[in-house]
Structure 1
């Protein structure tokens, strides 16, 4: 019996997948953040309490009753009047405060839901201080240093000089060569003639190459221990520029192939199998075979419905654990909860109402892109990507459902009739479906990951799942071409071979849907790698930039200018909401400037601004978006 065979094979596959996952070493990752800007900003000291808390995200988000929570330094919760989405900007959240905040420290906890159903959590800390305490306290900062950032000195300097805008205490300072080895220095000394000037002498002569200086300092007169140290990094070179290198990579740390596999991913897998098979079987019955004898209230239909029900329960349990502060009624109000329940209702109606079965199943199927995957994100294509995902699902469902239909039909006495009529028709539908699957799959892949290297693609969970899906799809295509030849033979022996191959395809289909469930819970950006300029030419100046290598950690940034002569280059790297660093680039030859060091501190999307000063004293600015590959995403 087909149901017994299907259950037996699926149990074997399910247990195998669970064992593979259990055997994989767990990894701990940071949840990716979509928050780009806040008011107040992180760590900001306000002289009067804000009337609103505001948050800007990269993509639209979904609110729930506990999205914004504000507490004082004593842990007392502060009630907010309301939290709403800006009607003119769906990425902008506004929380209105009821009362003015008194002086003190405050912490806001932000919990919103992304368009694919993932819960995103962030924290915001700020202070409200009395105005009297802020008077006559200029911001502590460094004015200049020697050697200068980006300077190539002639010979080894004997000392470092740091000038601040007020007397300073150096709490820590380190100098490192291009192999990241520490350089011996003396204790910082305050210049007796200028209390704002700190001198640090070297204990050794510096060889040729690049050097990194990292210092921590605070105002000497400050008695506010809550203020953090000011931290800065600058680079200089002796005689020539060299790239800062990692002395030893060490042994690579083992990681799971698919670390995101878990309760939610398993739920999506069962959900996909059940709902796609139900629609595909109904499509086979109503469109391909055109004889209403399949998928009555059979054991198989209820077994597939049980798959969908189990999958929905697993996903909802995982989501409720992420939103445990919400009441049951509040949880049910989320579209990521009521839409799956609506899908279950549509499937039940389809099973019991024969005439509208195909429409009910289609409606349930086409709701999937609205609550799973990444198609709903505007940056991943919006409505067009939703349409392509819907086509992808329809085509895959026709193929999967048809395979199950072949195994449940025909009876022995009807084999030849089935072979002559229905199998050729399904073969044409299956071949067309595979064509649509391949075309839409390629579109989705290129839309989600427009730029990558083989290394960045294969190292990511999302990329691995795509590659494995492609391999399995190619195998299915080859099997399908062989089956089309067998069908033309019109013999019982050929039919037997076709059925055996269909059993293999069923296993491949289950694996394809497994990898599809991994795609839903993983991040496309982890496979992406590229530099995207907003403009590459301004005022007769062209700029070409290159990171080598473009990945997390140590990099060399090379900037080549053509056109008007460039004398000075400043680079700003910014990762919302709070990270920003500025560097002055080394001029290594005419028109070529370089930076080296730990420029890309985290995987994710980073904004870069290059300001070039021409020989005529004019300033030209170029903007870029830099995408760094990696699973632990920031600003996405």
Structure 2
């Protein structure tokens, strides 16, 4: 147990060192504010246009241009990152632009390495009928087959490595005449998993370069482009860290295998620390690191990956490494007893992994999927839902295997164990997809909520559509304690305040129908968390307030 405590201590130290590294921050980028805002009408041409993102912009592979309705470029072709705030991309505009419809067309590389691009239309003066010709849009990078295969290979290889080591340290713990064959298989799997990690990491550099520069695979091997990715992106820094960790991992693995024992914590402690270090670097490139207080989300994301890797890795070891036997022979009988002892020892680990995966997964779901709408209508939400369903089936299979282990039935688990493993492999693939999709917080969908005022029994409903940064429709519905539209309302106002900027703004909402008040405008000028306060004043000069926390999307 002393060795295990030391392993945990060193793993925690490495996590803190990497997590507190000041230069590395990762998450999908989204717009929090633009000038002009989407579909804003300006009385005169601006001298500069700017877009502020939720994170620092990568110092390369970005662009910003302004086009008129005919497609002619009207900016000064001097797009640059603001020197005082590296989250702002800006460009100068030509003087004396005529009235009309214009669009800002932009592209940046998120800190997690994924390109994000979009169009922000605006108007100068009265643009006429052509004003509706352009619509604002944001398109994030959607993962292709190459990056999914690469991420899956990395996650699966790490899971195999961890699974085999955990299998021998905590599950197998047996010495018999077939143990040499088991050890031989285990060593082959360890080296094959290291080969898979090496292939994934080495191909990750040209793969990321092809994404950044929007070029083909063959063009991505151009030395100048590779240098740009290494020297001018956050990905380059984390890739170097990963390669250093992997190099040390190979060395520690070689000496651990040379010592001959796969069940010695003293031999494998260092290797476990560095393989977990690789998992930590993956958490640092996940959505978790984009949180305002990133230490806890990154730690929970790491625990999620670790628990899933251990569970699926040990399942793989049981399916591949355990010797086959014939029940009618004496060796077969001993092998069957060993098999069920292994299943029983694995069960507590599987239960622990399930609890960790469920708890950390629920935390992540609430953080990245703010509404039921975003769960159903976004790619991230749908993939997450599929992952949850598959996880549920894995849980049912695990419960069945736990019950069979207690009975020690004559036959081994067979196809049900292989099915659980196959589902686990698919879950890892879906995890790879999720890390390359923008979180559902970018598209929370229309906001619709009703609250009851305790003092007078009124019901206040607030509807915001489409609930994104820019122009929205705001509708307030009021009902008295009898459920009828009140007729004594003098005035309704909305007060908007953002957690990301100081100050607040207030607007009077016109009456549209009995008990219904509606307005339209650019009162939500950035994505993120807002508070909308509904203030109701009655004709008898009584008043009451109702606060609505709102998650505003960017697309």
User: What TM-score bracket applies, with the shorter chain setting the length?
Assistant: 0.5 to 0.7
2:424 to 494, 501, 509: 509
For 2:45 and 2:474, how far apart are their aligned partners in 1?
Answer: 42
Deviations 1:592-627 (CA, angstroms, capped at 9, x unpaired): 2244999999xx879667676654889999775655
How is 1:131-170 mapped onto 2 (pairs within 5 angstroms)?
A: none
8 Å CA contact 1:350, 1:361 repeated in 2: no
1:327 matched residue in structure 2: 225
For 2:444 and 2:32, how far apart are their aligned partners in 1?
Answer: 19
How is 1:196-211 mapped onto 2 (pairs within 5 angstroms)?
A: none
More strand by share: 1
For 2:29 and 2:456, how far apart are their aligned partners in 1?
Answer: 38
1:63 matched residue in structure 2: 58
2:350 to 430, 449, 452: 430
1:254 matched residue in structure 2: none
2:554 matched residue in structure 1: 635
1:481 to 375, 399, 411: 399
- Give the C-alpha shift of residue 343 in structure 1: 3.2
Instruction: Kindly indicate whether residue 281 of structure 2 is the aligned counterpart of residue 382 of structure 1.
Output: no
1:286 matched residue in structure 2: 169
Deviations 1:557-600 (CA, angstroms, capped at 9, x unpaired): 342277995324466999999xx9989543533xx224499999
For 2:183 and 2:59, how far apart are their aligned partners in 1?
Answer: 43
1:35 matched residue in structure 2: 31
Of the structure 1 ranges 456-465 and 565-574, higher mean CA displacement relative to structure 2 is found in 565-574
Deviations 1:156-185 (CA, angstroms, capped at 9, x unpaired): xxxxxxxxxxxxx9956xxxxxxxxxxxxx
Change (3 A) 1:500 1:539: closer
Instruction: Kindly indicate whether residue 188 of structure 2 is the aligned counterpart of residue 308 of structure 1.
Output: no
For 1:555 and 1:108, how far apart are their aligned partners in 2?
Answer: 23
1:336 matched residue in structure 2: 235
Change (3 A) 1:55 1:422: same
For 1:261 and 1:230, how far apart are their aligned partners in 2?
Answer: 31
1:266 to 141, 149, 152: 149
- Give the C-alpha shift of residue 399 in structure 1: 0.7
Structure 1: 5+ residue stretches without partners: 1-31, 128-138, 141-168, 173-215, 217-227, 232-257, 629-633
Deviations 1:270-309 (CA, angstroms, capped at 9, x unpaired): 2221222222222222333357964888443343344434
1:500 to 415, 420, 435: 415
SS of the aligned residue for 2:55 comes to: coil
For 2:251 and 2:43, how far apart are their aligned partners in 1?
Answer: 58
2:511 matched residue in structure 1: 586
Instruction: Kindly indicate whether residue 276 of structure 2 is the aligned counterpart of residue 362 of structure 1.
Output: yes
Of the structure 1 ranges 383-392 and 459-468, higher mean CA displacement relative to structure 2 is found in 459-468
How is 1:216-615 mapped onto 2 (pairs within 5 angstroms)?
A: 262-290=145-173, 294=183, 298-312=187-201, 316-324=205-213, 327-333=225-231, 334-340=233-239, 342-344=241-243, 345-346=246-247, 347-349=249-251, 351-354=253-256, 355=267, 356-372=270-286, 374-378=287-291, 382-411=294-323, 412=325, 413=331, 415-416=335-336, 418-419=338-339, 421-452=341-372, 456-490=374-408, 493-494=410-411, 496=412, 498-522=413-437, 523-525=439-441, 528-529=444-445, 531=447, 544-547=460-463, 557-560=475-478, 566-569=489-492, 584-589=509-514, 592-595=515-518, 615=539
For 2:379 and 2:89, how far apart are their aligned partners in 1?
Answer: 35
Change (3 A) 1:38 1:528: closer
Change (3 A) 1:322 1:543: farther
RMSD: 5.4
For 1:71 and 1:588, how far apart are their aligned partners in 2?
Answer: 41
Deviations 1:26-82 (CA, angstroms, capped at 9, x unpaired): xxxxxx9722224677886889966xx76432x3234223446679957764386x7
For 2:447 and 2:66, how far apart are their aligned partners in 1?
Answer: 40
Change (3 A) 1:483 1:33: closer
Q: Report the count of equivalent residues.
A: 457
For 1:125 and 1:338, how far apart are their aligned partners in 2?
Answer: 35
1:20 matched residue in structure 2: none
More helix by share: 2
Deviations 1:133-153 (CA, angstroms, capped at 9, x unpaired): xxxxxx97xxxxxxxxxxxxx
Change (3 A) 1:429 1:316: same
Structure with greater Cα Rg: 1
For 1:511 and 1:452, how far apart are their aligned partners in 2?
Answer: 24
For 2:64 and 2:381, how far apart are their aligned partners in 1?
Answer: 36
SS of the aligned residue for 1:488 comes to: helix
For 2:370 and 2:197, how far apart are their aligned partners in 1?
Answer: 33
For 1:444 and 1:488, how far apart are their aligned partners in 2?
Answer: 34
For 2:392 and 2:30, how far apart are their aligned partners in 1?
Answer: 36
8 Å CA contact 2:370, 2:441 repeated in 1: no
SS of the aligned residue for 2:289 comes to: coil
Structure 2: 5+ residue stretches without partners: 1-27, 68-72, 135-140, 215-223, 257-266, 326-330, 481-485
- TM-score for both structures, normalised by structure 2: 0.64
Change (3 A) 1:47 1:525: closer
8 Å CA contact 1:530, 1:626 repeated in 2: no
